[in-house]
Structure 1
Amino acid sequence: MAKAPTIYDVSRKAGVSTATVSRVLNNPGKVNSSKRELVEKAIRELDYHPLLEARLRTTKDVKRICVCAPHFTANSFVQRLRGIAAALAGRNYELQVYTVSSKNQMDHFIETLELNKLDGIITLSLPFTEKQIQRIFDCQIEMVMIEYLSPYANCVTIDDWQGGVIAADHLLKKGHKKFGIVCELSKPDYSVFPILPRMEGFRYELSRNNQKLEDKYIFDVPCEIKGTYQRFIEVFKSGDFPDAIFATADLEALGILRAAKESGIRIPEDVAVIGFDDIDFADYVGLTTIRQNLDQSGRIAVDLLTSRMKDPKRPLQHVRLPLEIVQRETT
């Protein structure tokens, strides 16, 4: 029997150090493209399999699942990952994480699928094309997409437009007359863009009730606490602000609440604030928000994925999770 190739064989064939080979396998984004291509070519030609993977597969038949997503430090992604990890806990699966921060990284992930030897992929907020999805299936890998609807894969989604409608309806019923929205309007080329349908649903419901969302009250800010806080310190200082604000992400809502507290603006008496997501901190700060069950979306994705891994003939499923208003102290 021929001896299995080692990392040293790959190193010699590619003309790079074993440390570089290791980085290509574990963190390819930190290796320049020319060296990465040499290593990947050597791996393919030698049919090299990392020792850990070979040991796991022969002794425990462990299946490898990769969660592929942007913004892994964002609370909503952390909670989805928590649901995924909880659903896989104690089962024969190895969980990996691949962070996407550019379209090139997303394309590279697809191009190097054979090297990763995966059994399943769960994508978060990534708009893979039909061609990319087909390539994944051609590599005998099952997949589930969260927050992106495709007819070619299992999907777990919400109705973002309806979320905007729910937010507007809640604020209208509270008797508010002057409305604002906080959202990040710059659209990345490698991630889904749920903000626009949320804003459209919000605007639609206001219009249906003879109310208007004025352009000056559309606040384009980064989806983060600090940037929103800095912007709203200036907004509250100006004295010109709406009496009800829909933040299309809870992180932005927290920035507004902090700015209001430092500016002497009363919540909800001077301005009501509603968020979106219901991430962990929302309950602690009393934030009214639109709940999408983030942990549950991760658990459902695991169930859909592992079911197809066991039975590839199982029909594809599209699961749409319900949204609900969670009333707390900020409205």
Structure 2
Amino acid sequence: MPSRVTIYDVAAEAGVSISTVSLALNTPARVSTRTRQRVLAAADALGYTPKTEAVAKARRGVGRIGVLAPFTSYPSVARRLNGVLREAAGLPLEVVLFDEESAVRSASPLLESLPLTGQLDGILVVSLPLEESVAGRLRALGLPAVLVDVRHPDFDSVHTDDATGGRLVAGHLVGRGHRRLGFVGETQQSEDYLSPARRRLSGYRAALAEAGCGLADTHVRFVEPSVGASAAAAGALLSGEQRPTAVFAADDTLAAGVVRAAHELGLAVPGDVAVAGFDDSDLAEALDLTTVRQPLEESGRAAMELLHKRMTGKDGAAVREVTLRLELIERGSS
């Protein structure tokens, strides 16, 4: 009975190393088309039968990218994904989505338990804190990874400066003559990291202090990420005698809740209270909302480009950080 053909036989037949055969079958995007075809021809000639999925990937010449993000919870993340998919459309890659419900925990349960070995050739982590234990796991596996809207010294990242965004809003509102300011942001479930809302608040608070205004703790609210929760908190904030004359919300969804609360109290926007958000979502345009525009699609595109370079060995060993520019969009709400 003839012995079973092994990967060693395929390597000898193709005139390549065993590791090259493994790459050609399991992470085909990391070898040239010519090499991959030589390996496949050798496997066919010898009757080698690796895992069906590996052969299918090799014949298509694709790799598999995992994108882990809170897609269903934040409209901004879905727009980042649009940029990822547009960039990936021109590359030999499959994109697999993993939805994490929350972006405000210090650790991602899904990322901690994700089966990475042999199933993914690269991963994008979008708008989720990277726990050190998970970072260590990614390093140990040697899995190419790029972070979006998150930073870690060991991994490439694409991000904006949230504190700068808060400063942009503060400068705009102070410039409009406001001296009693408020803030509504998303509740952070752990103190192990600083969420985007906290970073935006820090820039906002610092710029207000520099302008001689300050931000009273009683004018700061943290809520669950919904219009209803924001409206309830803003309603209480805007009901007092010393209510803020302007409120910065850490994203456009929360800003919509502030606008709703103002209307329910009979307050004119911006005559009685100015409102500003963050992201420049479709909601911001519909509400004529002043907001900070993030280059969301561009962040996804840039991250996909970085990841593909890592996967194909076209980047050096140095970690790359790409910082994208924020822009204040002035509309009728302020």
- Name the residue aligned to 1:41: none
Q: Does 1:106 align with 2:111?
A: yes
Higher mean C-alpha displacement, 194-203 vs 129-138: 129-138
| Contact residue 288 and residue 326 of structure 1 kept, 8 A | yes
| Contact residue 106 and residue 190 of structure 1 kept, 8 A | no
Q: Does 1:164 align with 2:166?
A: yes
- Residue 117 of structure 2: SS of its match in structure 1? helix
Aligned equivalent of 1:228, options 230, 238, 263: 230
Cα separation, 2, equivalents of 1:207 and 1:221: 24
Q: CA deviation at 1:188?
A: 4.3
- Name the residue aligned to 2:244: 242
- Name the residue aligned to 1:320: 323
| Contact residue 65 and residue 95 of structure 2 kept, 8 A | yes
- Name the residue aligned to 1:73: 73
- Name the residue aligned to 2:31: none
Cα separation, 2, equivalents of 1:84 and 1:73: 18
Letter in 1 for 2:98: Y
- Residue 153 of structure 2: SS of its match in structure 1? coil
Letter in 2 for 1:78: A
Q: CA deviation at 1:240?
A: 5.1
- Residue 248 of structure 2: SS of its match in structure 1? strand
Question: TM-score, normalized by length of structure 1?
Answer: 0.78
TM-superposition CA deviations, 1:90-130 (whole Å, max 9, x none): 43211111123464333112xx3115x21110001233255
Over 3 Å counting, the alpha-carbon distance change for 1:237 and 1:308 in structure 2 is same
Cα separation, 1, equivalents of 2:56 and 2:238: 58
Cα separation, 2, equivalents of 1:235 and 1:137: 46
Cα separation, 1, equivalents of 2:87 and 2:188: 34
- Name the residue aligned to 2:45: none
| Contact residue 126 and residue 190 of structure 1 kept, 8 A | no
Higher mean C-alpha displacement, 61-70 vs 257-266: 257-266
Q: Does 1:257 align with 2:262?
A: no
1:11-22 equivalences under 5 Å are none
1:50-61 equivalences under 5 Å are 51=52, 53-61=53-61
Cα separation, 1, equivalents of 2:77 and 2:228: 19
Give runs of ≥4 in structure 1 deviating > 4 Å.
1-4, 48-51, 188-192, 234-240
- Name the residue aligned to 1:268: 270
Aligned equivalent of 2:175, options 170, 173, 176: 173
- Name the residue aligned to 1:123: 125
TM-superposition CA deviations, 1:223-282 (whole Å, max 9, x none): 221211233344445565210001011110011112223332111000000111112221
Where structure 1 has 5 or more consecutive residues not aligned to the other structure, the ranges are 5-47
Letter in 1 for 2:77: F
- Residue 242 of structure 1: SS of its match in structure 2? coil
- Residue 127 of structure 1: SS of its match in structure 2? coil
Q: CA deviation at 1:139?
A: 3.0
Letter in 1 for 2:109: N
Larger radius of gyration: 2
| Contact residue 160 and residue 194 of structure 1 kept, 8 A | yes
Over 3 Å counting, the alpha-carbon distance change for 1:204 and 1:121 in structure 2 is same
Letter in 2 for 1:217: H
| Contact residue 126 and residue 191 of structure 1 kept, 8 A | no
Cα separation, 1, equivalents of 2:192 and 2:305: 26
1:84-233 equivalences under 5 Å are 84-101=84-101, 103-109=108-114, 112-115=115-118, 117-129=119-131, 132-188=134-190, 193-233=195-235
Over 3 Å counting, the alpha-carbon distance change for 1:49 and 1:270 in structure 2 is farther
| Contact residue 83 and residue 294 of structure 1 kept, 8 A | yes
- Residue 319 of structure 1: SS of its match in structure 2? strand
Q: CA deviation at 1:296?
A: 0.7
Over 3 Å counting, the alpha-carbon distance change for 1:127 and 1:230 in structure 2 is closer
Over 3 Å counting, the alpha-carbon distance change for 1:301 and 1:191 in structure 2 is farther
Cα separation, 2, equivalents of 1:72 and 1:189: 24
Q: CA deviation at 1:70?
A: 3.0
Over 3 Å counting, the alpha-carbon distance change for 1:218 and 1:192 in structure 2 is closer
| Contact residue 108 and residue 129 of structure 2 kept, 8 A | no
Coordinate RMSD, CA, aligned: 2.6
Question: TM-score, normalized by length of structure 2?
Answer: 0.77
Cα separation, 1, equivalents of 2:266 and 2:4: 75
- Name the residue aligned to 2:82: 82
- Residue 291 of structure 2: SS of its match in structure 1? strand
| Contact residue 103 and residue 189 of structure 1 kept, 8 A | no
Over 3 Å counting, the alpha-carbon distance change for 1:3 and 1:257 in structure 2 is farther
Cα separation, 2, equivalents of 1:130 and 1:233: 39
Identity across matched positions, percent: 32
